Amino acid sequence: MKIELMKITAICLSLGIASMSTGSAEVVISDSFTLSSSRTSGTTINGLTTETGNKTWVTGTNWVLGGSSTNGYITSNANSNSTIAVSFTPSSYSSYGTLITLSADVAYIKSSGSAFFLTLGRASSNVTTNGLLYLKINPYGDTWSLCSGSSTVTGGTLSDYISTYSASTLYNYSISYDTSTKYIDISINGKSVLSDYYFDYTTVFTSGSTSISNLFIYTQYPGSTSQSKIDNFSVSVVPEASSAKLGVLGLGILLLTVLRKRRQ
């Protein structure tokens, strides 16, 4: 029986490793805003297509390309509120998994009233009306917040994750949401802020559509040219890790049952 159990353990381990390798993130939309002959500095990105995913940018005209051919980004040339959005329907990517991650590198002005919002929305405008889930970063107030509509779900201190904030430095921010389990993960500058945090946004959005249809960054008073920058916009989808683990466990139990029957 010991040998049989060892065999089952070995099989489950190999299957577990296989499930982890097949459960890697699939980048479905991305843009590093590289300049080219069709993407020149000072040109608005509104109407352009993402480098990966073939999505059309819908943005305010104040967000324009900047940098160089080796180091492109987008920057706001006017201190006005606007969105930087792409359409996204989770069901279109269900073959990849249910865990959606929106990520971007952002350098943002540290000024009263200025903030930006990484948003999973039902429309690409007005976070308090259409932001089903969003990560709000307020550099001036030194806060981060997980919000839904006009409600703040939880939050904390930004300097816990960025010890010395610089408005000219790009930091990475990401929010992940599992459409199946409703678990949320947030990271700031490579550090985990929230992990497996449960929240059902339909408790806030009790009327109208509750389906994600747009992913966007809403920018509030971003300053003038080069005072705020965004780079490496990315959307990835990955299978829920716990589902893979449960599958391996279930297979192990099935194998054990079969082996026991053979001994009888």
Percent of the chain with pLDDT strictly greater than 70: 82
Return the pLDDT at 239: 81
pLDDT mean over 187-212: 96
**255 shares a domain with 135:** no
Split at pLDDT 50, 70, 90, the class of 1 is low
Return the pLDDT at 214: 97
CATH number at residue 107: 2.60.120.560
**251 shares a domain with 174:** no
Return the pLDDT at 27: 96
Hey, CA dihedral for 45, 49, 51, 52, is it positive or negative?
positive
**112 shares a domain with 34:** yes
**258 shares a domain with 185:** no
**218 shares a domain with 126:** yes
**210 shares a domain with 165:** yes
For 131-167, b/e burial (b = at least 16 CB within 10 A) is bbbbbbbbbbbebbbbbbbeeebebbebeebbeebeb
C-alpha to C-alpha distances, 103 to 30, 189, 249, 252, 262, nearest whole angstrom: 9, 11, 32, 36, 51
Split at pLDDT 50, 70, 90, the class of 68 is confident
SS3 112: coil
Return the pLDDT at 70: 85
Neighbouring C-alpha atoms within 13 Å toward the C-beta of 84: 34
Q: What domain range is 259 assigned to?
A: 1-23+241-264
- Indicate the pTM of the whole model: 0.83
pLDDT mean over 81-104: 95
Answer yes or no: is pLDDT of 231 > 90: yes
**252 shares a domain with 147:** no
- What digits encode the pLDDT tens for the residues 130-167? 999 999 999 999 999 999 999 999 999 999 999 999 99
Return the pLDDT at 18: 43
Amino acid at 228: S
**174 shares a domain with 70:** yes
Distance of alpha carbon 160 from alpha carbon 166, whole angstroms: 14
Structural contact between residues 146 and 135, judged by C-beta atoms closer than 8 angstroms: yes
Phi and psi at 242, nearest 5°, equal -65, -30
Number of domains, the chain: 2
Answer yes or no: is pLDDT of 193 > 70: yes
Task: Estimate to the nearest angstrom the gap between the alpha carbon of 184 and the chain centroid.
Answer: 10
**131 shares a domain with 12:** no
**179 shares a domain with 69:** yes
pLDDT mean over 99-112: 97
**29 shares a domain with 19:** no
pLDDT mean over 177-188: 97
pLDDT mean over 117-134: 94
Return the pLDDT at 245: 47
Answer yes or no: is pLDDT of 263 > 50: yes
Return the pLDDT at 23: 61
- What digits encode the pLDDT tens for the residues 16-48? 434 443 468 899 999 999 999 999 999 999 999
**175 shares a domain with 80:** yes
